[in-house]
Amino acid sequence: MTREVAQWENLTDAGILVVTGTGTGVGKTVVTAAVAALACARGDRVAVLKPAQTGIGAGEPGDLADVARLVPGVTSRELARYPDPLAPATAARRAGTPPVTPAEAAEAARELAADHDLVLVEGAGGLLVRFTDEGGTLADVAALLGAPVLVVAAAGLGTLNHTALTVEALRSRTLTCAGVVVGAWPAAPDLATRCNRTDLPAVTGVPLIGALPDGVGALLPEEFADAARRGLASALGGEWQTAVP
């Protein structure tokens, strides 16, 4: 295990864990729910914070609705939502409403941490997507909280570069990378995908600590918890092994 993740035997013991993606649509919400499901299964009080939800109108179900459906009993909190499917800063500007600042997101996470064992802070898109026009990002939230960051990556071609850049951005800010999880592992992986399972830790310098099967977000809660246990490594409370089948 690398120096970056060695201080916690189980990353959910960190209290607050920030979840980012290498981009949009990589399975970040499903991974967040999977981590929450395993923590709930061991008796932890779990909260999921979504500082900014974009692309969803008022009254429509967003990412937190998916988490609540997959993990009954989890606490969820959304600070703001904007209808345009854009970066939060841009969407807030177009909506004519205030953006969520990193300080506000960090304060909300601390409030939830006061009466929960684990708070998962799920970003919007990638690590450096702007929350504010002044440049505030999820990286700033993690820095304010002193929290480790879990990186959710795609499975296929192109993911090595995107994931390495995300981890490098974390290191340049002296933030702790908790490891990488593949958000949607295909049932029939191609050559690039199979090789990426070995190459991701090699090019990033951090461990691959999970690969959730594509489609698990459609499962019932009990089935989802089982898939989470099989798809996440022991660092996240699961049983997944890194060896390539």
Question: Model confidence over 64-95: pLDDT tens digits?
Answer: 999 999 999 999 999 999 999 999 999 999 99
Which contiguous run of DSSP H or E holds residue 145? helix 138-145
Task: Look up residue 74 and give its DSSP letter.
Answer: -
Among left, alpha and beta (phi > 0; psi -120 to 50; other), residue 91 is alpha
Beta-strand relationship, 16-21 and 118-126: parallel
The model's pLDDT over 184-211, given as tens digits with 9 standing for 90+, comes to 999 999 999 999 999 999 999 999 999 9
Phi, psi (rounded to 5 degrees) for 52:
-140, 125
Residue 241, both tokens: 């092994």
Beta pairing partners, 92:
none
Across 3-12, 110-119, 179-188, least confident range: 3-12
Angle between the N-to-C axes of helices 221-231 and 28-41, in degrees from 0 to 180, rounded to the nearest 10: 100
CATH no. for residue 24?
Answer: 3.40.50.300
Question: pLDDT tens for residues 108-155?
Answer: 999 999 999 999 999 998 999 999 999 999 999 999 999 999 999 999
9: confidence class by pLDDT, cuts 50, 70, 90 = low
Q: Tokens for 71? A: 């993990």
Q: Is 153 helix (H, G, I), strand (E, B) or coil?
A: strand
In terms of C-beta density within 10 A (0-12 exposed, 13-18 middle, 19 or more buried), how is residue 55 classed? middle
**DSSP bridge partners of 149:** 18, 177
Let me know if residue 202 belongs to a domain. yes
**Residue of 50, 116, 130, 197 marked active site:** 50
Residue 35 lies in a domain: yes
pTM above 0.85, yes or no: yes
Strands of 46-54's sheet, edge to edge? 75-82, 46-54, 118-126, 16-21, 149-153, 177-185, 208-213
CA separation, residue 211 to residues 21, 91, 98, 172, 200 (Å): 14, 31, 36, 26, 12
Predicted confidence band at 245 (pLDDT cuts at 50, 70, 90)? Answer: very low
Asked, for residue 245, whether it belongs to a domain, the answer is no
* Cα–Cα distance measured from residue 191 to residue 207, given in angstroms and rounded to the nearest whole number: 20
> Does 28 participate in catalysis according to the annotation?
no
112: tokens are 């939830």
Q: Does 65 map to a domain? A: yes
pLDDT bin (cut points 50, 70, 90) of residue 57 is confident
pLDDT at 243: 52
Indicate whether 242 belongs to any domain: no
219, part of any domain: yes
* Domain-located, residue 7: no
Q: What's residue 58's pLDDT?
A: 84
How many folded domains does the chain comprise? 1
Residue range(s) defining the domain that contains residue 136 = 12-236
What is the reported pLDDT for 7?
53
Does residue 241 lie within any of the structural domains?
A: no
Yes or no: say if 47 and 39 are a contact pair by the CB < 8 Å rule.
Answer: no
Q: Which one of 10-19, 30-39, 52-61 scores highest in mean pLDDT?
A: 30-39
